[in-house]
């Protein structure tokens, strides 16, 4: 049994067909139309027989009038059937593809962050754009073609067997022989096609990177290097495509030759019967015509099988993602986190990214409702990683995180994330209006609320200078927004979300001291009564925190208030000293007052005993 026939009823195609259950009526009418087209095809040799025998041999003048009328009617019916069949099948095909695209996108959106770290953005895009289109080709061209041709083959085969079963047997011997090259070609195409799609995804990823990162390409003068890399990739694509071209180009002639052998045999075998007078010229001609018509769809089966194998390779890649298991799972009956201030408790939490070493080790941290906790420490210590565990961007490797005493793995993800407003370390905005960017987490916010948040984050000033104000699209601004402006927009977005848990990861790092102080005030107002995690390198911005947690090498090395930690003269004290040393240098340059001797200036003003 050829590969495509088994696939038709099991595996991927079955999965695809199940997606169009509600189009059964359309499929049925398309099938009916196909039967009509196929039957009209089979009628051609029948007409030919009567033209030969009734008009040419018997010279029947009544038939001379009747047959042309019959031919016209035949072609009109055939034309209409062809139209409906093509339209209906394409419609169903496009519909499957649309649903597949939606399912794929929905699935990708639901996959955890770790998935996006593993996959390249451009490669994922290629699955939705390129791979899905190949699936479409398979559904609307090949699957339609196969059904149509199968009906046609059946019709013509019945016709020739009725005409002369012995001759028909001789003519159809080649059919089983033909299946061998068909399945061989198909196998090759599938393999090459998988390679081609992977190469295409790789190229998309490359394009995405070099276009979005073009500033760096230019700044480091790497244009020639990137052009070369692209050339290698496009050459790879070319080679893989040519391999497919060879197989495709070969499959037609091979099938045709097989057909030629069959025809030669029939001419010899049938010709003898005509010469011996056991068969009419008409029957023989119509028989040859039927066999020629029959070989055509058989030859096409090979072509369609190639397209199907290519489509199956693409479908595999698409379903790979649709069926990709998510590591972040919800339990069957998750608890909904109610609104309100929350207590967050880390209990002996350890965490490592899937491929790397342990990043967080034995974290114990109990944060009371409304408490402001500052996380400080050297770069790469694990601060961002720690706060990323709260909205379950990743799950802990060991230990639990509890919200109000409930393991966060037991609560509904949506309700958990609703409780959290976050300003991430790198500002992320979407190509939408400023207004929609601010209202991203709260789309029902009124214009007044949006402007209030914008004012609090000091966004209002520069936004009102844009020609379209709050309706200006971020994309229209190109790269016009400064780092600090982007950061303030992200803060406005978090302010508007107005959630009881606040995570600020270096939220004001790109601001100058003056605007930082202003935004800081807005944030401090906001933090009141909310459970807040604030990460900062500039220690002056976290002095007000209820508790400062110093993280180093994935461990909590110190906790306490600003004053307590200074007294301890440990890690925090040292961090302060390094930063104040910087302040001293600045002080010297600007001629500011520096307290030397037995005290050193820490953090813009706080004096500590050395």
Ligand X SMILES: Nc1ncnc2c1ncn2[C@@H]1O[C@H](COP(=O)(O)OP(=O)(O)OP(=O)(O)O)[C@@H](O)[C@H]1O
Q: How far apart are CA 205 and CA 211, in angstroms?
A: 10
Q: How far apart are CA 463 and CA 435, in angstroms?
A: 10
Closest contact distance (angstroms) between CB of 129 and ligand X is: 26
Closest contact distance (angstroms) between CB of 575 and ligand X is: 12
Residue 381, binding choice from ligand X, Mg ion, none, Cβ under 5 to 8 Å by partner class = ligand X
Binding mask 27-46 for ligand X (x = CB under 6 A): --------------------
Residue 117, binding choice from Mg ion, ligand X, none, Cβ under 5 to 8 Å by partner class = ligand X
Q: How far apart are CA 169 and CA 262, in angstroms?
A: 11
At 366 the three-state DSSP class reads: strand
Residues 6+ apart with CB under 8 A from 233: 199, 202, 203, 206
181 neighbors 255 (Cβ within 8 angstroms)? yes
Residue 382, binding choice from Mg ion, ligand X, none, Cβ under 5 to 8 Å by partner class = ligand X
Cβ nearer to ligand X, comparing 256 with 364: 364
Binding mask 109-148 for ligand X (x = CB under 6 A): --------x-------------------------------
Cα-to-chain-centroid distance, residue 362:
36
CA atoms 514, 517, 522, 523: torsion sign: positive
For residue 4 the two structure tokens come to 């495509």
Q: How far apart are CA 568 and CA 560, in angstroms?
A: 9
Residue 353, binding choice from ligand X, Mg ion, none, Cβ under 5 to 8 Å by partner class = ligand X
384 sits near ligand X (criterion: CB under 6 A)? yes
For residue 552 the two structure tokens come to 């180093």
Contacts to ligand X from residues 334-353, by CB under 6 A: 353
Q: Which residue is nearest to Mg ion (CB)?
A: 384
In the complex, the residues that contact Mg ion under the rule CB under 5 A are: 384, 425
How many residues belong to the site for ligand X (CB under 6 A)? 12
Cβ nearer to ligand X, comparing 153 with 389: 389
At 465 the three-state DSSP class reads: coil
Closest contact distance (angstroms) between CB of 391 and ligand X is: 14
Closest contact distance (angstroms) between CB of 379 and ligand X is: 3
508 sits near ligand X (criterion: CB under 6 A)? no
Rounded to 10 degrees, the C-alpha dihedral 17/21/23/28 comes to 70
Residue 109, binding choice from Mg ion, ligand X, none, Cβ under 5 to 8 Å by partner class = none
Cβ nearer to ligand X, comparing 388 with 515: 388
Cβ nearer to Mg ion, comparing 384 with 508: 384
379 sits near ligand X (criterion: CB under 6 A)? yes
Nearest Cα residue to 336 out of 420, 415, 401, 392:
415
For ligand X, which residue of 380, 461, 475, 592 counts as binding (CB under 6 A)?
Answer: 380
Cβ nearer to ligand X, comparing 192 with 533: 533
Reported residue count of the chain is 610
Cβ nearer to Mg ion, comparing 265 with 393: 393
What's 411-479 look like in SS3? Answer: ECHHHHHHCEEEECCCCCCCCCEHHHHHCCCCCCCCHHHHHHHHHHCCCHHHHCCCCCHHHCECHHHCC
Say which DSSP state 541 is in.
G
For residue 324 the two structure tokens come to 């990709």
CB atoms within 10 A of CB 172: 17
Closest contact distance (angstroms) between CB of 507 and ligand X is: 12
479 neighbors 471 (Cβ within 8 angstroms)? no
359 sits near ligand X (criterion: CB under 6 A)? yes
Cβ nearer to ligand X, comparing 14 with 380: 380
Backbone phi and psi for residue 514, each to the nearest 5 degrees, phi listed first: -70, -50
383 sits near ligand X (criterion: CB under 6 A)? yes
* Half-sphere exposure of residue 440: CA atoms within 13 angstroms, side-chain side: 20
Closest contact distance (angstroms) between CB of 382 and ligand X is: 4
Q: How far apart are CA 324 and CA 145, in angstroms?
A: 32
Cβ nearer to ligand X, comparing 204 with 385: 385
Closest contact distance (angstroms) between CB of 117 and ligand X is: 4
397 sits near ligand X (criterion: CB under 6 A)? no
Cβ nearer to Mg ion, comparing 283 with 384: 384
Which alpha helices (DSSP H) does 472-592 contain, by range?
Answer: 483-497, 513-527, 562-568, 571-590
Binding site for ligand X (CB under 6 A): 117, 353, 356, 359, 379-385, 425
């Amino acid at each position: 049994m050829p590969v495509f026939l088994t696939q038709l009823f099991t595996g991927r195609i079955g999965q695809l067909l199940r997606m169009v259950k509600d189009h059964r009526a359309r499929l049925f009418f398309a099938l009916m139309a196909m039967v009509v087209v196929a039957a009209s095809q089979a009628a051609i040799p029948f007409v030919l027989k009567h033209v030969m025998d009734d008009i040419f041999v018997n010279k029947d003048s009544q038939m001379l009038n009747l047959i042309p009328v019959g031919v016209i009617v035949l072609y009109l019916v055939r034309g209409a059937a062809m139209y409906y069949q093509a339209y209906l099948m394409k419609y169903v095909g496009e519909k499957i593809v649309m649903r597949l695209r939606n399912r794929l996108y929905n699935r990708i959106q639901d996959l955890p962050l770790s998935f996006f770290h593993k996959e390249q953005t451009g490669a994922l895009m290629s699955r939705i754009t390129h791979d899905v289109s190949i699936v479409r080709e398979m559904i609307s061209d090949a699957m339609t073609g196969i059904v149509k041709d199968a009906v046609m083959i059946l019709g013509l085969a019945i016709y020739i067997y009725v005409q002369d079963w012995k001759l028909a047997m001789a003519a159809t011997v080649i059919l089983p022989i033909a299946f061998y090259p068909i399945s061989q070609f198909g196998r090759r195409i599938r393999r090459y096609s998988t390679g081609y799609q992977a190469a295409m995804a790789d190229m998309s990823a490359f394009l995405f990177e070099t276009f979005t990162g073009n500033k760096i390409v230019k700044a480091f003068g790497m244009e020639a290097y990137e052009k070369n890399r692209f050339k290698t990739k496009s050459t790879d694509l070319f080679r893989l495509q040519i391999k497919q071209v060879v197989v495709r180009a070969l499959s037609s002639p091979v099938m045709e030759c097989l057909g030629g052998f069959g025809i030669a045999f029939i001419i010899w075998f049938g010709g003898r019967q005509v010469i011996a007078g056991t068969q009419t010229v008409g029957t023989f001609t119509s028989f040859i015509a039927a066999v020629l018509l029959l070989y055509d769809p058989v030859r096409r089966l090979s072509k369609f099988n190639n397209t199907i194998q290519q489509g199956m390779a693409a479908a595999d890649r698409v379903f790979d993602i649709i069926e990709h298991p998510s590591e972040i799972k919800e339990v069957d009956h998750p608890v909904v986190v109610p609104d309100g201030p929350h207590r967050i408790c880390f209990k002996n939490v350890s965490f490592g990214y899937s491929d790397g070493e342990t990043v967080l080790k034995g974290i114990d941290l109990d944060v009371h409702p409304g408490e402001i906790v500052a996380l400080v420490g050297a770069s790469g210590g694990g601060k961002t990683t720690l706060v990323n565990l709260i909205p379950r961007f990743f799950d802990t490797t060991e230990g639990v995180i509890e919200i109000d005493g409930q393991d966060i793995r037991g609560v509904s993800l949506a309700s958990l994330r609703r409780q959290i407003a976050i300003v991430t370390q790198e500002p992320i905005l979407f190509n939408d209006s400023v207004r929609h960017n601010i209202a991203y987490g709260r789309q029902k916010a009124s214009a007044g609320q949006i402007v209030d948040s914008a004012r609090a984050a000091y966004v209002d000033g520069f936004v009102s200078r844009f020609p379209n104000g709050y309706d200006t699209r971020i994309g229209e601004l190109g790269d016009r927004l400064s780092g600090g402006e982007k950061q303030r927009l992200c803060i406005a977005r978090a302010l508007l979300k107005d959630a009881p848990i606040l995570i600020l990861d270096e939220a004001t790092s790109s601001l100058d001291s003056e605007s930082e102080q202003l935004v800081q005030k807005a944030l401090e107002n906001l933090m009141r009564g909310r459970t807040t995690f604030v990460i900062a390198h500039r220690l002056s911005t976290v002095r007000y925190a209820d508790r400062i947690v110093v993280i180093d090498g994935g461990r909590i090395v110190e906790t306490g208030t600003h004053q307590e930690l200074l007294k301890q003269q440990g890690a925090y004290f040292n961090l302060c000293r390094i930063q104040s040393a910087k302040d001293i240098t600045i002080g010297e340059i600007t001629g500011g007052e520096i307290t030397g001797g037995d005290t050193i200036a820490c953090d813009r003003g706080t004096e500590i005993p050395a």
